[in-house]
Amino acid sequence: MIKKLIPDYYFKSVYDIPYEQLYEQGIRLILTDMDNTLISYKQTSPDEKLFKLKERILNIGFEFILVSNSRKKRVDYFAKAYDIPYVKFALKPLKRGIKKAIKLAKGKYNKNEILILGDQLMTDTYAGKRCKLVVGLVEAVDKKTDIGPTRFNRRLERFFLKRIKKKMPEEYDKYLKSYGENII
């Protein structure tokens, strides 16, 4: 299982991703988590910076779809405000929500053309790997704002990060070191 917790990329934030390069490498669809990936749990209204990022991503030629585990109204609110197609209550790390999102894109992409972005190993990374997608792990926007179930996942995360560090030190150093720095 721990192999499925190792992302293909680590990015400091969604603003630090070389999108043009990923497009050149063949990525066409970006699935993204919402809370603590695009915005913090605390954010209550849309901001210009993210709207511009979305525009940039679309202009490069990507499709961009939100896949959130949250079932709250805020997912509908933000997705509509930013005008991003979305799947809520996605139940990552189950495959269901991700499959639904891929269907939203009319299933026209191969798995190696799909990048999934998220701030949690136990949900986003694991779900992406289970679906055999390309996985980008990002640093949480504001970890202090994590809510109940996420805090539980963070504890699991710490446990697995330690195991990966011990059993697969090269992979840990390459993909997880920065992420794990403040965790273990």
CA angle, 85 as apex, 99 and 148 as ends, to 5°? 75
Distance set, CA 152 to CA 28, 37, 91 (Å): 33, 18, 15
Q: Which is nearer to Mg ion, 23 or 40 (CB)?
A: 40
Q: How far is the CB of 24 from Mg ion (least distance, A)?
A: 27
Run of H or E including 9: strand 9-11
Helices (H) and strands (E) in the chain, counts: 8, 6
Instruction: Quote the least distance from Cβ 36 to Mg ion, whole Å.
Output: 4
CB of 15 to Mg ion, least distance (A): 16
Question: Nearer to Mg ion by C-beta: 37 or 43?
Answer: 37
Q: Considering the complex, state which of residue 113 and residue 142 has its C-beta at the smaller distance from Mg ion.
A: 142
Which burial class, exposed, middle or buried, applies to 5 when counting CB atoms under 10 A from its CB (0-12, 13-18, 19+)?
A: buried
Closer CB to Mg ion, 63 or 146, in the complex: 146
CB of 139 to Mg ion, least distance (A): 11
Name the residues that contact Mg ion, by CB under 5 A.
33, 35-37, 119
Please report, for residues 33, 47, 50, 51, the alpha-carbon distance to residue 43 in angstroms, rounded to integers and kept in the order given. Answer: 15, 9, 12, 14
